Structure 1
């Protein structure tokens, strides 16, 4: 079968590899759709030191059809349509164990979310990471709810879903996104204002006063985290999701009386909640479909910041 693999030297290559066999608690999935993520790019940039072996098949945002079952799998059958959650049952796909930029994928059955009838598989794939991660950070970790003033930094593949989830929860949502072409979409999902930079959320004439946000979720993670801390009120929270830079620095005096918490991934239940919201049309993220053969090119576009929303590779028959 074909697989897009990290081969070392900051290079990804389309290779022919053997088809996987299921371990006792695994299923084999015929992959039908796979989302492309900035995390994929980050692991290519960091290089082989971040991976336990090479070559590594990338891809951690996948949906497809079960074609084989391990001896200990319960609750699933051949033919079931599922998405795969990196919930921690097995090492993260595409980074520490082979992922789904491939014709077939081995995944633990405890990491599977059932795709409801009628949900497009491109959306289902997108929901397994971009949906789960953004939703979990905003609703479960951030606790966004009615009456809160919430900031979203980065209105990309994750931020668009996190912003909409906060709007659905009743929060007043503001977006910081450098690409002004994304602002119309941000307003469409319910954001009340858009700025290019989160520093604009603090009065430049009186920066010591800080901001008045209850919660800011940073889906970017470049030079944004300090700006988020500056913009929350005393007692407010920053939830860090984005991995744009491997390290960042926070001024000690600005964190006092505030909190910052990292959010990684989510749960199968989170994915299934997002599936339901997508099926009902409450969350309709923007995405672009590409082919399996365009995955390498798509990752390069992500690296060069040339993507609005999400890229999803849809596999041919």
Structure 2
């Protein structure tokens, strides 16, 4: 027997989100159920419900993939988690677990397609679609649940489950650490965590932003340097400087200009999502033996590693806590760049919604 829970979702891409009720399936042998305490709001939530990624796969669609909650029920075969554990769920709710990439612990690159925590057909419930964290409770396979370490603020930890792992994984992959110079393009939800993660890894960090407006904020986050790109002078002054450039913006940029900032065999990696094309000229790559890469959040084991790293080094997101009734206003403020740096929904407020 399924359970009805209150949630906040989209009926159509042209309409604001609204209170809804959805069904959560029974807990199977390998599942856990958790009451949602906090859920971050990610820009990609807005892309999905706004139609940038295509029409809604199901109506209503409940977004949300930065989920922190407490386990209230476990399946008979679950051994990693217990009732009462504080845990998190990120972007994925399942994968094939059998392909080369899954077996390598990189479920985000599942060759058969991972299952997103919302908006994908649910392999555990044929005919149903996954529904996300803008809701009271959720049921997912226990293998796709991670432990929230002691010492991490649960609300501030929620954005780590997407934004945190999205910047941690490429920084680790491309060798951020003592003696390296890292540039972070953009200082929003992803960018502010990129600065903190890179600094915690021991890198020298520069924030690249279009104007002077965020200089003080970058300094407060621990950035060593700040450069303004709006007038173009930084692309000359900082040419051949950085080992890693982490592009966190969700809009097109001039790749040639930024690639020119990379030193010998440096890498620029894009993690911000834009549906608009960005032309790439090969010559800036040939010069200095540079590389251009992309990265998509992280696998389950790596997400746990990131959370443990964050707890050890005191890395958390700067958040503004809101009630479920304020989600549409939060979307408007995100579009206006009016948040420092991530909205997080208080999960206890879903109970007050009236569908």
Equivalences for residues 98-177 of structure 1 within 5 A: 98-139=131-172, 141-177=173-209
2:7 is paired with a residue whose SS is: strand
Q: TM-score, normalised by structure 1?
A: 0.88
Aligned-pair CA distance for 1:122: 0.3
Please say if 1:59 is aligned against 2:64: yes
Deviations 1:154-205 (A, max 9, x none): 111121121122122222111013464432232133312213337543117x
The corresponding residue for 1:38 is 43
Say which of 10, 19, 24 aligns to 1:14. Answer: 19
1:223-278 alpha-carbon deviations (Å, 9 max, x no partner): 33513223213421011100144432112322323211111111334333443344
- Could you tell me how far 1:143 is from its partner in structure 2? 1.8
1:313 aligns with: 345
Counterpart of 1:18 in 2: which secondary structure?
A: strand
Larger deviation: 156-165 or 299-308?
A: 299-308
2:206, 2:224 within 8 Å by CA — same for their partners in 1? yes
| Among 238, 253, 259, the residue aligned to 2:268 | 238
Match of 1:216?
Answer: 245
Task: Choose 70-79 or 169-178, whichever is displaced more.
Answer: 70-79
Structure 2 CA distance, aligned partners of 1:229 and 1:48? 28
Q: RMSD over aligned Cα, in angstroms?
A: 2.5
Instruction: Write the distance in 2 (CA, Å) between the matches of 1:223 and 1:246.
Output: 7
Task: Note closer, same or farther for the CA distance 1:45–1:252 as it changes in structure 2 (3 Å cut).
Answer: farther
Residues 94, 297 of structure 1: CA spacing in aligned structure 2 closer, same or farther, 3 A cutoff? Answer: farther
Structure 2 residue runs without a partner (length 5+): 96-113, 121-129, 350-355
Q: Which runs of 5+ in 1 are unaligned?
A: none
Distance 1:48 1:253, change over 3 A: closer
CA distance, structure 1, for counterparts of residue 28 and residue 263 of structure 2: 50
| Distance (whole Å) between structure 1 residues aligned to residue 203 and residue 150 of structure 2 | 30
Instruction: Give me the whole-angstrom Cα distance separating, in 2, the residues matched to 1:34 and 1:54.
Output: 20
Match of 1:255 among 285, 295, 300: 285
Residue 80, structure 1, aligned to residue 110, structure 2: no
| TM-score, normalised via structure 2 length | 0.79
**Structure 2 CA distance for aligned equivalents of residues 231 and 38 of structure 1:** 27
Do 2:199 and 2:205's aligned partners in 1 also have CA atoms closer than 8 Å?
yes
User: Cα offset for 1:15?
Assistant: 1.0
